[in-house]
Amino acid sequence: MKNTFRLTYFVISLLLFYSCGSTKYIDISETKLTDDAATPETKLLFQKIKSIANDGIGIGHQDATAYGLNWKASDKDTFRNDIHDVVGKYPLVHGWEIGHIELGNTINLDTVSFNLMRKQIATAHKLGGINTISWHLDNPATDGSSWDPTPAAGSILPNGENRDKYLTWVNRLADFIKSLKTDSGTAIPVVFRPYHEMNGSWFWWGANNCTTEEYKELFRDLVNLMKEKSVHNLLYAYAPNSLNSPEEYERFYPGDEYVDILGIDIYNHSGDSSFVEKLKKDIGVMRDFAETRNKPYAITETGNVKPENPNWFTEILYPGIENSGIAWVLFWRNARENHYFATYPSEIAADSFKKLGQKNDILFMEDVKTYKIKK
């Protein structure tokens, strides 16, 4: 009996030792965010992101646990992910897409069920992951898709002819965000990245399809509406697409009071090595912008559009991002063989991804500490 007691005591001490060692207590009292009423957990997430950026670069993946090459999660399924199948660790950042939530649909525009999403978001959060949400909402003027460039922004701002319809859409968005909860009912904090890639013109909110002022108003209006609807578990991210000039980064910026995190989406369209310089240049512009504002920054979307180089992750991506200060790099979705952006077991650059994953500064979910609020 005595020995059993000693052994139990020893095991508990060991567990406590290790769990304390891997827990980081953060003082959130001075944390100022876009949302003055942000929940403590949202403030903690912001500080966690800053802290991660000091330690290395988090790996992110869009629709990480919803599907991969030749598999799809069902509501019963466990927590599978293509990157995990390759390296044995989960991405730190899990990206989600809520396009069509505005229509009241049960699945998003890529057929991912919102119920599954809610469940996987909660699991990722529980395991120490970070969730981020993008929104390819339909064109409110035409009911076409996000890619319908018909001008619409002016019509949904206050007094516009589609305002009421937009308010219904935003209500549905708010309800979904508020439904993200832990088992004990606490709101799960999320990085929300609406109206992204606005410096391009492929979305109805993009450069040639609305004025810069309309764009800024659209972003600010959405933030204000979310606050009015008592959504307090969001960090707001502003993320242009790859830049044609440094000034482009700032052109559509809604203001320091409306943005918590800076991002940029940069894809390697040609697959060639000029991408290394492209990354360095664009990240440099974002970093200067972010550092003067003391905000964290990340590559919010990337991927090799022409995946022909078996060493792409180590030879092209890594040299472009190492020591850059980005908090994470998020690979877009693994939809199908001609539309995937991370890796999977039989993928041409899977070994290169494994090597990337072995670098000390590359962080998966399992590599980061547990962050808790310092009382």
- Residue number with the shortest CB distance to ligand BMA? 97
Interface residue with ligand BMA, options 35, 41, 82, 97 (CB under 6 A): 97
Active site residue 337: no
Q: How far is the CB of 97 from ligand BMA (least distance, A)?
A: 4
Selected from 329, 333, 352, 371, the binder of ligand BMA by CB under 6 A is 333
Cβ distance to ligand BMA smaller for residue 68 or 99: 99
Q: How many residues belong to the site for ligand BMA (CB under 6 A)?
A: 6
Considering the complex, state which of residue 44 and residue 207 has its C-beta at the smaller distance from ligand BMA: 207
Q: In the structure, how many helices (H) and strands (E) does the chain have?
A: 11, 13
- From the candidates 41, 97, 197, 214, give the one annotated as an active-site residue: 197
Among 97, 102, 217, 301, which one carries the catalytic annotation?
A: 301
* Shortest Cβ 280–ligand BMA spacing (Å): 24
Other CB atoms within 10 A of residue 299 CB:
26
Q: Is 28 in contact with 47 (CB distance < 8 Å)? A: yes
Angle at 116 between CA 41 and CA 79, to 5 degrees: 80
Nearest to ligand BMA of 327, 330 (CB atom): 330
Q: How far is the CB of 207 from ligand BMA (least distance, A)?
A: 17
Contact (Cβ atoms closer than 8 angstroms) between residue 153 and residue 215: yes
> Are the C-beta atoms of residues 313 and 350 closer than 8 Å to each other?
no
Of 135 and 289, CB closest to ligand BMA:
135
Per the annotation, the verdict on 277 as an active-site residue is no
Pick from 48, 28, 50: nearest CA to 39: 28
Look up residue 327 and give its amino acid.
A
108-137: which residues touch ligand BMA (CB under 6 A)?
109-110, 136
Query: Contact 62/301 with Cβ under 8 angstroms?
Result: yes
Minimum Å gap between C-beta 125 and ligand BMA is: 21
Sequence-ordered list of residues with C-beta below 8 angstroms from that of 159, at least 6 positions apart, any chain = none
Tell the smallest beta-carbon distance from residue 331 to ligand BMA (Å).
12
C-alpha torsion angle, residues 167, 172, 174, 177 (rounded to 10): -160
Nearer to ligand BMA, 79 or 267 (CB): 267
Half-sphere exposure of 256 (CA within 13 A, CB side): 8
145 is a site residue for ligand BMA (CB under 6 A): no
Site residues for ligand BMA, 9-28, by CB under 6 A, read none
Q: Which of 278, 277, 264, 276 is nearest to 328 (CA)?
A: 264
* One-letter-per-residue 3-state SS of 308-354: CCCCHHHHHHHHHHCCCCCCEEEECCCCECCECCCCCCCCCCHHHHH
Beta carbon of residue 358, minimum distance to ligand BMA (angstroms, whole number): 28
Task: Pick between residue 97 and residue 367 the one whose CB is nearest to ligand BMA.
Answer: 97
Residues written for the chain = 375
Active site residues: 197, 301
Chain positions contacting ligand BMA, by CB under 6 A = 97, 99, 109-110, 136, 333
